[in-house]
Structure 1
Amino acid sequence: MTTGSDEPKNRYLQYLEIVTGPLEEKKRYRQYKARIKRLPENYRIAVEALERYLMHFGPVDGSGAMEMYEDLADLFERSAADATPIRDIFGDDPIEFVETFMSNYPLGQYRARERHRFTSAVDRAIGATPPQDRTE
């Protein structure tokens, strides 16, 4: 891993990342939060509500989650710039919107593994042979 140049990270940064996780992900998250803070209030409220939902039900992995949050920020920045009404962004069913939005991103490794474990157990319980490539 490098620090942005061709020099390797020093031991302190390597140790710090072992304890706290990748520093680059934390930097990306802070940048995302700064983008959201600059949105008009009604758009910011909507994004923060979506973010709370995604924290509970969205991808768990740092990089997968950050890609999703950055895309969310892009969507709301463009919508605010175009003065798109919030209802037009979400449609009639906000849950359907967020579930469709999340389906474009891979599940975190933990959730994918647990889904596979769950569906395999159900298949065994009903006497079926579990499919080989089940990812959801």
Structure 2
Amino acid sequence: MSDAEKGGFISKVIGPKRQWRQYKARMKQLPEDYRTTVEAIERYLMYFVPTDGDSNASMFDDLGDLFERAAADGTSIREIVGEDPVEFAEAFVQNYSEGGYVPARERKRLTDAITRAAGEDTGKEDKAV
């Protein structure tokens, strides 16, 4: 894939680079648990590739707005995403695209990441690598 093709693909997936960088800078300002949650949701949503980058840019901006407001208001992560983060993410993305295929492994990964960010036990012990 040429650099031009890669740039087009990146724009299709995440939207204009400048807007993406601004969004990521905003998310770095969030408290750690909110930032971890947003990063987990981002990773999950990357499987949903809308037809144009503008949809994704809008989707991520809205996700950022939601978590910035929640952090400012002291809203808990569970109050935002509920007990099923997969359900939250899939409902959220439906406002922006037709969605895509998400393997069960990624659904579990999202759920586990949110559980850890919310300060809940995942039933696994962390092991140093």
User: TM range, normalised to the smaller chain?
Assistant: 0.5 to 0.7
Answer yes or no: is 1:68 the counterpart of 2:59.
Answer: yes
Contact 1:43 1:76 in 2 (8 A): yes
Structure number with higher relative contact order (C-alpha < 8 Å, ≥ 6 residues apart):
2
Contact 2:49 2:97 in 1 (8 A): no
Q: Measure, in 2, the Cα distance between the counterparts of 1:96 and 1:63.
A: 23
- Assess, with a 3 A threshold, how the Cα gap between structure 1 residues 44 and 64 changes in structure 2: closer, same or farther: same
Rg comparison, structure with higher value: 1
Instruction: Please list every run of at least 4 consecutive aligned residues from structure 1 whose deviation after the TM superposition is greater than 4 angstroms.
Output: 16-19
Unaligned runs of 5+ in 1: 1-15, 112-136
**Which of 3, 6, 20 is the aligned partner of 2:7?**
20
Specify the code of the residue in structure 2 equivalent to 1:39: L
TM-score normalised by L of structure 2: 0.64
Unaligned runs of 5+ in 2: 101-129
Q: Measure, in 2, the Cα distance between the counterparts of 1:48 and 1:60.
A: 22
1:9-30 superposed Cα distances (whole Å, 9 cap, x missing partner): xxxxxxx9787346x8110000
SS of residue paired to 1:92: coil
**Which of 29, 42, 45 is the aligned partner of 2:20?**
29
Answer yes or no: is 1:50 the counterpart of 2:41.
Answer: yes
| 1:37 to partner: Cα distance | 0.5
Contact 2:48 2:97 in 1 (8 A): no
TM-score normalised by L of structure 1: 0.61
- Assess, with a 3 A threshold, how the Cα gap between structure 1 residues 34 and 60 changes in structure 2: closer, same or farther: farther
**How many residues in Structure 1 have an aligned counterpart in Structure 2?**
93
1:103-133 superposed Cα distances (whole Å, 9 cap, x missing partner): 111348xx7xxxxxxxxxxxxxxxxxxxxxx
| 1:46 to partner: Cα distance | 0.0
